[in-house]
Structure 1
């Protein structure tokens, strides 16, 4: 993101050189390709931790919910990863629009991924609540344990804000300006 900022990301496109716009497009595509595996690994780790805490010796609702979420996240992020890798053919067309070739619109991928992130984040936030409810602890301690897991609400809020900025990004010609908050909230 720092390299993209130096190239012109976060500035209005009319204040950025053509070379800067091309560099932002290249770096944005690299970040788009790195985002799905990074997000999958982060969510996979969190889900395994929840499984270890609440379903380590039993195959209950939490266990099967975690398995379903891991599978759904893998499919979603793998499809997004492939879509961004093959966004243009030849790949150089991503940052150099004057080269002959063709590109798919990645707008749908960006918005769908943002929406799925919200669903996934909310589900991951709610899963521990089921386990906490079944703990043999006084209500006050359950609330305290729940508060620790509730810090995950920030991920949900970030996903919602990212979706709003992603929609704005798909509706503007000033990409160098509009892409910055999408990356910040990712």
Structure 2
């Protein structure tokens, strides 16, 4: 469809659909830039080399961003308004950018399909080798359909500039071949999308793995059904290519095209993004468990220090107010654990540090045997003399 002049219709209102195009184009641009960049950085962070599927997704990102920018430029020049309200310059710019946007959409969708194909070959070809040649066949079909559409697009006019600049000498071909090729390409692309979305049900369903993991993988791959629905819905508006008021009538067609090609790239990034989110979740769980372990360790240390403090207080009380001993005897101490033998203490059983320089502390099989005579205090003995006597026996507490 060449740039033409149309008759002015006074019944038309000068309204715009610009927000319907700008809002999704802006949001999806941020989405695909974030997802693809995260995908590439994740692989580099994990020290994995970029594969051929990553290079194709980079190509898809480049053409997707170009298409989104062209959409925004079209809106800036009046796309989304009726053609009769645009100047001749705006009509030419809109016509030119919409044509280039069709080319960018075709290349970006093809690159994304190639990326998904190589991804499946990389991870599943060795498991199910019979799918290998079938996937290669789908790749050939997708390539032929996409480049067939590009060839039909490039042959619309000779030279191509004639499409948007009627002053350029040349010829314009019938739009029907491009119309037929566009429908054929969309149908073939839809079949491939369905296969990529549903084939893992058979492939993964026969593998031995946890049900939860199967559901997760099938959810990631099954999201490609959304792309199939968008591409088929876009066919409803394909007849708008023949409408002379193209700046207004092509809006719905281009809105579905924006969603289709951008979401296709996001779906292709999902497996790597899911892997990243799972690793982050595992790290957070590990960090949480580590912090919980440290808190428990600190609590145990606190309880241990309280017990040690209680022991020191008990020992101090034993030094200041020693228990009355009912008989004479000796005791053997193993480190901190004292075994009392030969006598019983009244309500007292605790560890007492021994003097290292005691002449009566021979070692016996790693244990310290202390033999000592203990006097029996009477009730009337002076308390001060009792304390001095106790210090000479037990002090210092080290």
Deviation at residue 31 of structure 1 after TM alignment? 1.5
Q: In the alignment, what sits opposite 1:127?
A: 199
Q: In the alignment, what sits opposite 1:77?
A: 146
Greater share of helix residues, 1 or 2? 1
Residue of 86, 96, 100 corresponding to 1:30: 100
In the TM superposition, structure 1's runs of 4+ consecutive aligned residues that sit over 6 Å from their partners are none
Query: How is 1:9-158 mapped onto 2 (pairs within 5 angstroms)?
Result: 9-56=79-126, 59-60=129-130, 62-104=131-173, 105=175, 106-158=178-230
Is the Cα–Cα contact under 8 Å of residues 234 and 256 in structure 2 kept in the other structure? yes
Match of 1:8, SS state, is coil
Query: How is 1:165-176 mapped onto 2 (pairs within 5 angstroms)?
Result: 165-167=237-239, 169-176=240-247
Q: 2-side partners of 1:45 and 1:33: how far apart?
A: 19
Is the Cα–Cα contact under 8 Å of residues 83 and 245 in structure 2 kept in the other structure? yes
Deviation at residue 43 of structure 1 after TM alignment? 0.4
Aligned residues, how many? 184
Greater CA drift, 147-156 or 109-118: 109-118
Q: 1-side partners of 2:128 and 2:183: how far apart?
A: 36
Is the Cα–Cα contact under 8 Å of residues 90 and 102 in structure 1 kept in the other structure? yes
Is the Cα–Cα contact under 8 Å of residues 190 and 228 in structure 2 kept in the other structure? yes
Q: In the alignment, what sits opposite 2:334?
A: none
Is the Cα–Cα contact under 8 Å of residues 115 and 163 in structure 1 kept in the other structure? no
Q: 1-side partners of 2:183 and 2:250: how far apart?
A: 13
Any unmatched runs of 5+ in structure 2?
A: 1-70, 258-398
Residue of 214, 232, 255 corresponding to 1:160: 232
Is the Cα–Cα contact under 8 Å of residues 145 and 184 in structure 2 kept in the other structure? no
Give TM-score, length-normalised by structure 2: 0.43
Q: Answer 1 or 2: higher relative contact order, Cα 8 Å, separation at least 6.
A: 1
CA spacing shift, 1:107–1:73, aligned 2, 3 Å = same
Q: 2-side partners of 1:174 and 1:110: how far apart?
A: 20
Deviation at residue 42 of structure 1 after TM alignment? 0.6
Deviation at residue 170 of structure 1 after TM alignment? 3.2
CA spacing shift, 1:128–1:103, aligned 2, 3 Å = farther
Any unmatched runs of 5+ in structure 1?
A: none
Q: 1:16-43 deviations in whole A, cap 9, x for unaligned?
A: 2222121111111111222222211110
